[in-house]
Amino acid sequence: MSTENVELIRGHWQAWENDRDVETLVQGWAPDIEWDLTRFATWDGASRYCGLGDVLTFLVEYMSRWTGYRTDARRYVDGGDRIFVEVTESGHIDGAAVERVWAMVCTVRDLKTVRVEMFTDVAEAERSLAREPSQTV
């Protein structure tokens, strides 16, 4: 089922990148989704958000910092129920041009995202996936 999980996460990202389609994201998230930012150094807000309402609060807070925001999810690694996504984001924060690469590991159960871990260090995110041999897709 892991290929199905990769395609699920890829579909969510494409909806986000193409249209900022929050409805598609929320439909793909479990009601008790957990968003873990403990290893995401560029965020100075709370380190964890739990449940749809809290995660949407995080998303609004994060996006409010940006103008001209763009993302490119460029690499997916299949880790079974855990999917690694490498993301390049760019735009402006407080008038300054920003471009950075980070990663997330999304945990999927029953075709719903139940946990998202964001990492400033892409290699650390990839190592966290190493419970089983993984395959780049």
Whole-model pTM: value is: 0.90
- Can you tell me the distance from the alpha carbon of 26 to that of 14, in angstroms, rounded to the nearest whole number? 14
User: Domain range spanning residue 65?
Assistant: 2-136
Cβ proximity of 58 and 35 under 8 Å: yes
Mean pLDDT, all residues of the chain: 91
pLDDT band at 131 (very low <50, low <70, confident <90, very high): low
How many structural domains are present in the chain? Answer: 1
Instruction: Using alpha carbons, list the distances in angstroms from residue 124 to 96, 98, 119.
Output: 27, 22, 7
pLDDT in tens, 45-60: 999 999 999 999 999 9
CB contact set of 38 (below 8 Å; sequence gap of 6+) = 47, 48
Query: The CATH number of the domain where 119 resides is what?
Result: 3.10.450.50
Q: Please state, for a pLDDT cut of 90, what percent of the chain lies above it.
A: 78
Residue type, 55: V
pLDDT for position 137: 46
